[in-house]
Amino acid sequence: MPKKLPSFMPLLALALSLAWPHSTPALAGPRSTSPTATELAQFNQGLSELGRSQYAARQAGSAALRQALARLMVRMIRVTGPERQARVAHLLRYQEQLTRWARAVLHLPLQERLQMLQWGIKPKLLPLVAGAFSYHQQRRADVAHALAKIPGRNADWLLTRLLNDRHRLVYLTTMDALWNRQPTPAMIKSVWHRAVILGTPFSFQQSVQHMAVFRGKNIPIITYNNTYWMQVQEGAYATQLLQHWKPRNLSHLIVHLLVQMCRLPPAQNIFSTPYTVTAKDLTRLLLLAKPAPAEPYLLFLIHQPMSQNFMFNFNNKPGHLSNRTLPLYLLIKFAGQNPATYQIYHTPLYGGTWALESVARENAAIKKITAWYAKHKITACTQAQLHAPAKPSTKK
C-alpha cells in the first residue's frame, strides 16, 4: 500500500484546485493559513493513515478524507447570487466528470496512472478529458474528433473507452474519428467486436431479468434488448473501418472465432444463415485477412451435417443454401480458384449471397475442394485439436 500512495497526490491536488480555484497557492506549503490549507492538511493526514498497517488507522484515514471532501463541498454551495450559483453548479458537474476519469485511471498500473494524470490536467486537454467522461452522450461524442488528432497512448486509451461506449451516437462518431488514426490492438478488438461478435450467439441476450419485491410479492423486471438489431446492422460500419485499417492482428481474432464456432455447434449459426449481415461481414473480413491457419477450421465446418437447407427458385433457376455454403466459398477463394468452376454462383436474392443449384452440387464441390487441400497437405482439424488445439498447418 505505501508504494502506491503517491499516486493519490495528483488526484487530490486536482480535486482541491477545481473545488476552490482561488486557493491553489495553499498547495505550495503550510505557510498559508487559509481554510483550504486546513483541508489540505486533513487530506495529507488522511493519506498518511491510509498507508498504516493497522486496519483501524486506515479506516480513520478514509473517514478523514471523506470529511475533508464534504467540507469543501459545503463551502462551495454556500455561495449566493444566480451567477455564482450557476458557476458552482457547472464546477460540480465538471468535477463529477473528472471523478469518473480518476476512478477509471485508478485501475491502470502506477506509472501509466501518473503519466495519464500529468498529461490530462494540461489546460488544453482537461476539457477533452472531462468531456470523454460526461454523463451526456452528445458531449462524449463531441470530443472524439478532437482526441483523434492528439497523438500518443493516453489519447488512445480515451478513444478506446469511447469506442466501447454503450450509446450508438458515441461509438459511431468515434469510429468515424478514428478513420485515419493508427489503431491499437485494443481498438481493433473493439471494432471487431462490433463488426462480428455482437451478431453472434455468444453475445445475444433477449432480456435481462431482475426481481423486485413489493409487499412480499416477487415482481419480475424484464428489459428487452431493443438495440440488438441496430448493433447487427452497424456491424457493416465496423467492418468498413477494419477493411480500411487492414490490421495485422485481425487474423488472430478471426481464427479464435472459428475455433469457438467449431467447438460450439450453436455458434455455427453464423454460417447457417449466409445471407445475414453478420455472415456477410465475417466473410468480408475473412477475405481481407485470408489467414492460412483458418483453413483447417473451415474444412471442419464444411464437413459438418447439413443443419440448414434453403431451397429456392429465381428466374427459373433452382438454388440451394446451407450452413456449408459460405465456408465452401471461402475455401475456394483462399485457394485462389474461381467459384464458377465449383458451380457456385452469386444470386441477388437475400440482398446478394452465394449459392449452388442443389445439395448434390454442394456435396460434389465439397469433395473437390477437400481433395485440393489434401493434395497441398492441409486437412480438417480434429476434435482433439479443438479441445487442445495445436497450431494448425499452413500452406506450403
Position 27 scores a pLDDT of 33
pLDDT at 2: 38
Q: E strands, the chain, where?
A: 207-214, 217-224, 309-314, 317-322, 345-347, 353-355
SS3 sequence, 57-106?
Answer: HHHHHHHHHHHHHHHHHHHHCCCCCHHHHHHHHHHHHHHHHHHHHHHHHC
pLDDT value for 15: 42
pLDDT of residue 307: 86
Q: Which three cell numbers mark 346?
A: 452469386
User: What is 225-260 written as a DSSP string?
Assistant: -TTHHHHHHHHHHHHHHHHHH--TTHHHHHHHHHHH
Q: Contact at 8 Å (CB) between 336 and 307?
A: no
Q: Write down how long the chain is.
A: 396
Per-residue pLDDT 10s for the chain (396 aa) are 333 333 333 344 444 333 333 333 333 334 444 556 777 777 778 878 887 888 988 898 888 888 877 877 787 788 888 998 898 888 888 888 988 999 999 999 999 999 999 999 999 999 999 999 999 999 999 999 999 999 999 999 999 999 999 899 999 999 999 999 999 999 999 999 999 988 775 554 545 567 888 888 888 776 655 455 566 678 889 999 999 999 989 999 999 999 999 998 888 888 988 888 889 999 999 999 999 999 999 999 999 999 889 999 988 889 999 999 999 999 999 999 999 999 999 999 888 999 999 999 999 999 999 999 999 999 999 988 887 654 554 444
**Cα distances (angstroms) measured from residue 384 to each of 196, 267, 301, 327, 373:** 27, 19, 15, 21, 20
Burial class (CB in 10 A: 0-12, 13-18, 19+), 335: middle
Residue 74: what pLDDT? 81
| Predicted local confidence at residue 395, as pLDDT | 47
pTM above 0.85, yes or no: no
Name the residue among 390, 379, 369, 365 with its Cα closest to residue 259. 390
pLDDT of residue 33: 41
